[in-house]
Structure 1
């Protein structure tokens, strides 16, 4: 006697709004509720399926054939809606359109290139930490360290000039907000869309980039035929969009973690080789990128739930990174943990191509700080900056006690 085929069942239903201010400020209660509800939950407010458990999120991220990025990684469905700007060739494209841009960037950001940057960035980190710590023992670690360091070294590496770099974080904030619904956060940026987009697009032009930077090498790849000349500025734009905000807020997460877990800071000072592990654990623990969408390319069954072709699927990366089925004591920041397998940088074909650049920035900054500072403590309430996609910061007031 053969078993009857498994019948699809309807998913649990929730009217929760993951883009409401309270949920963006404190996402953990919603994440716990979604994980407890089931492997797939239908969010009635937006008409999307959602996944918050590590197993399902990881599987969807690595299955680009059935869960495509080309229809947009936000709520908007590019099958039916025109994007507000040309789609990213890295985030919002699938093979074959995705292949050449990723191959070029992977080569440009390979270990030999990072080894060349390490010496420069180590010196820049020592200089910045020395200036900040020597000038005052109480300061805003978000603006003075987490925000300042990437905005100093990464645009230099890309080949940007010194003027206008203050536009990078507002542009990134606008771009990541646009992945969510058209709510108050998106409307607040509406008056600057044209201005910020024009500035960023101008920085991606060949003539705006120094000849020794990554941006110029992208254009050189187009000259060789590895890319088209139409693709080159879009690849540079992807670097400037995804390569700043996520690193800034990942560094802020690490500094917040150490200020609230002093025993882990001592562990890092005793074992400075843990600096990269510390950054990955901070990314797991705080998940600067909280959510991304995919679109089902076919009817797909997930744990018995049928998700129809064309459906938008909201993946809660932050919830997956604190799934107790995957991580022991997941709400704790712990340098004794192996954080590999977290989905804070995505996973699979669309995994962040610049993640090793972010790790290098974090390693040199945290190492420079650990050499000079015995203890970091909060001296005020940290403030979040709400964003539809990012777990971002506005302020992180700290006091540091310098090493003798």
Structure 2
């Protein structure tokens, strides 16, 4: 059987279906092994090629225009972000705790601090500064740019307020001050903390701070202070606990306002405790009668007050009262923990704002007589001054 394209005598050839009329044309072996040419795909028409080019050109033009527009928009946004703002005079602005960038931006625009809230929120978010802005009240300078406003809020340099509690206030008196402060917010605890548990001091805070948070801060600070003072106390004190230290310190706090006297006053009460004597402290009588509200300034202590039986009347009871009578400060606590080494058992006012101390009852009685003489002279001078004022008014 003869193979295709091969002659009977072994010669390779090809069939010519063209002009040769189907003649068989002999081929060399190399020609026979060469692959036949694959037909080319049909070519697109010129019209089709033109539409594709037009479409691609359109797409490229749109991309270019969009890029140029985006760049121009970004440039404009950052230019406005850094440009001076419309604010004409310094003002304050409160960043509410938990407020988002959009809320802050809208409030700034309403206050005419910035001109375009959308640019502020967009650029601030793009810069990743939105989450870094801290709550608080800030002073914004006149003409501040949006960038400067953002940096101010990020700095956390908010306006600081303060509230001061002098030593010797009761818990009720401290709560009244907290309630009256217009910058603080939130309700006070329903249950009053124990007397003596709040540290007198000056506390700083930002507008909108919570009143309960201030109370908690005062409690934690007082507890820490008491621990520190107790750990450095004299070893021979006639008191057995931090609670007793706090009670006696509150009495010392109310007895004198002179820092250099506190260790001496403390020594008097500690010496009395050692001798099992009554403390006989007037401030304890007042607390027993009036409680945490305090005695009215124009109402003196009466003899009946001194004999009234209350758990706090140290003219009646022996030892310490059941709780502190005020909130003592560091000086009073340290005075009790490290008192002066004296033999004093008595003290009385000396007319100079301080006290006269005595070891014996006779010396104390002499000091009392001097004090009463000073009081009598002061009362006479006051009465004489009043008479002169009345006479001058009658003459007019």
Give the TM-score, by structure 1 length: 0.22
Relative contact order higher in (CA < 8 Å, ≥ 6 apart): 1
- Higher gyration radius (CA): 2
- Whichever structure has more strand as a proportion of its residues is 1
